[in-house]
Structure 1
Amino acid sequence: MIRLFAGMVTGLLMLTGSASAQDAWPSKPITLVMPYAVGGGADLMARVLAESLRRNLGQPVTVANVTGAGSVLGSRQVAQAAPDGYMLLMNHIGLSTAPALYKNLQFDPVKSYEHIGLIAEIPMLVVGGKHVPAKDVKELIEYVRKNKDKVTMASSGMGSGTHLCAMLFQKAVGAQVTMVQYKGSAPAYADIQSGRVDLMCDSTGGSVAQVKGGAVNAFVVTGNKRISSLPSVPYSAEGGLNDLGAMTVWYGLFAPAGTPKPIVDRLSGALQAAIRDPEVISKMNSWDATLYDVKYAVPSALRDTMAKNVALWTQLIQASGLTPQ
């Protein structure tokens, strides 16, 4: 009886201690893992989000770029981290392609995370180096079809947004080109500008500045409307590339599976506050990104979106004949 009572007391103390730890969260800095390289569109968005989360949570939120194998290495690190709310992941639609692209993944995009909520979606822009002999999207399509054996297209690795967009671009054009993988958009631009690579389909968050700075030319924007920052650039249907119409990249915030619900709820609340944050809104507008309504900055919305996208991209990737690495 004494042992039973002692066990009950110990259990109650453990529960109380756990609850106290959750109530005190966050009591130290938080790491936001960004699985793409510094300077790319995804990285820029992560840093804006991190600053808003810092203001709402009262602790520093540091962006850690953990790159490699598309977004797999950084995503795996968070999936396998302690579920205490101190290591988070910001990733996008590319995470949903991982099961179809990689063997021995060691995590599941649906089951290995607490899905905090959706953040924003952003269109992509097909850009090319100044050496590419095409003045507009019509000439680009003709050039790629005639020179498919020598045209090169950069991506930020298997399953990245740039890779998915490149797949749909090739499908729309009706020609397979040579893909060149990088650890992020930033290093790819250096090779595009030097003429070592011809094309890339990058998010407007990273590509618009490159276009306005004169480093690359813009040919077509994905989605179903033109963008305010480059109003003269046609969107997919206007450019005769209907398959690019659905190619917008959604972003979400994740924590390791098993993170206590009070922490998940606090994170979701901080994310909703970020979506209302004037500084975040201003930055996202400058990148032609569309912030989700706060009703989608909740676990169920991101979880459902992830599950549907895993099914969709698995089917598309298998149909394309790509072999998992």
Structure 2
Amino acid sequence: MPRLTRRQLPALVAAGLAAPALASAQAYPSRPITIIVPFAAGGPTDTVARLLGEAMGRDLGQSVVVENVGGAGGTLGAQRTAQARPDGYTLLVHHIGMSTIPTLYRRLAYDPINGFETVGMITEVPMTIVAKRNIAANNLAELVALVRRERDKINLANAGVGAASHLCGLLFQQAMNVPLTTVPYRGTGPAMNDLVAGTVDLMCDQTTNTTEHIRAGTIKAFAVTTNSRVASLPDVPTAIEAGMPGFEVSVWHGLYAPRGTNPELVTRLSRSLQVALRDPGLIRRFADLGTEPVPQEKATPAAHRAFWTADVARWRPVIQAAGQFAD
């Protein structure tokens, strides 16, 4: 169905041609909705999507099912969404990777910017610098000294090129001025499993994936990457406090629909997103994971698009300077 503009709509209504589109929008949703998560189950983006899906499902009156389509740094799931029928029944929850994919990947089977309608931002998640629990360091300064002393023996896990953990890890290496052997996984869940098992040494990952492990003592936390401490981890200092000036990064998540989705449906989804972000249960679970919903004014298509556009411009020179591309 062609996308209707506001200028076209009055004429179409007068001609009686907009009735099917409007009727479809008014009846929406009439069946379950699928949210594609482009990473493995159990990771932080998966957690955000499942909590959001539950809350949106209550508002929409339909089940919202999460489908994990991992691989290729989140591009496979994004491609599946971009190429899906634009009927409001296939959505995407993706993180900061949507800002870096346009630079990291020089050849894609879909348009990484113009292939989507923005629905709204969801949350901005702090990152944590963490390590296996028996690593021989007790604070960030000791960890940096250990890394510089034994760089050839220490590795850094991530969820794949372009994943949030990869980007944060890239900045961490730059801050230390020490390149490390990196171990990419197909998702943060498997990477975290190996960090807990002690198979890998370090990781930089979102609080949504690390908080419960930090509290349980199965991994060791050295810093959070925001400019103030996180309420759910009050004893973990910021990287700036711990002696790494300027090290600040958070991971934002957004909700997308395929390009060409009826504007009426995008508006309905955005309203449902805003309702979900006010849900007390979702707010409580986000707090447990060290994050919170974005302000309501960011959970709109226009605000989401503006933020995303600016973030693409922010990350482009960082990636180009590192010279690390995914293809």
With the shorter chain as reference, the TM-score category is over 0.9
Q: Determine whether 1:190 maps to 2:186.
A: no
Partner of 1:108: 111
Partner of 1:19: 22
Partner of 1:6: none
Q: Determine whether 1:97 maps to 2:100.
A: yes
Structure 2 residue matching 1:157: 3-state secondary structure: coil
Alignment of 1:227-246 (within 5 A): 227-245=230-248
Q: Determine whether 1:50 maps to 2:61.
A: no
Partner of 1:315: 317
Structure 1 residue matching 2:199: 3-state secondary structure: coil
Alignment of 1:1-325 (within 5 A): 15-245=18-248, 247-325=249-327
Partner of 2:5: none
Q: TM-score, normalised by structure 1?
A: 0.93
Structure 2 residue matching 1:44: 3-state secondary structure: helix
Distance in 1 (CA, whole Å) between partners of 2:28 and 2:308 is 27
Distance in 2 (CA, whole Å) between partners of 1:88 and 1:242 is 38
Structure 2 residue matching 1:145: 3-state secondary structure: helix
Aligned-pair identity in percent equals 42
Aligned-pair Cα RMSD in Å: 1.6
Distance in 1 (CA, whole Å) between partners of 2:325 and 2:29 is 42
C-alpha displacement of 1:311? 1.5
Is contact 1:156-1:181 (8 Å) kept?
yes
C-alpha displacement of 1:13? 6.7
Is contact 1:100-1:324 (8 Å) kept?
no
Structure 2 residue matching 1:317: 3-state secondary structure: helix
Is contact 1:136-1:219 (8 Å) kept?
yes
Distance in 1 (CA, whole Å) between partners of 2:270 and 2:19 is 24
Q: TM-score, normalised by structure 2?
A: 0.92
Larger Rg: 1
Is contact 1:171-1:243 (8 Å) kept?
no
Partner of 2:7: none
C-alpha displacement of 1:52? 0.7
What letter matches 2:303 in structure 1? Answer: A
What letter matches 1:56 in structure 2? Answer: D
Structure 1 unmatched runs, 5+: 1-10
Distance in 1 (CA, whole Å) between partners of 2:129 and 2:52 is 25
Is contact 1:72-1:98 (8 Å) kept?
yes
Is contact 2:35-2:67 (8 Å) kept?
yes
- 1:8-45 Cα offsets, whole Å, 9 max, x none, are xxx96764223221221111110001111111121111
Distance in 2 (CA, whole Å) between partners of 1:115 and 1:198 is 37
Distance in 2 (CA, whole Å) between partners of 1:128 and 1:181 is 16
Structure 1 residue matching 2:117: 3-state secondary structure: strand
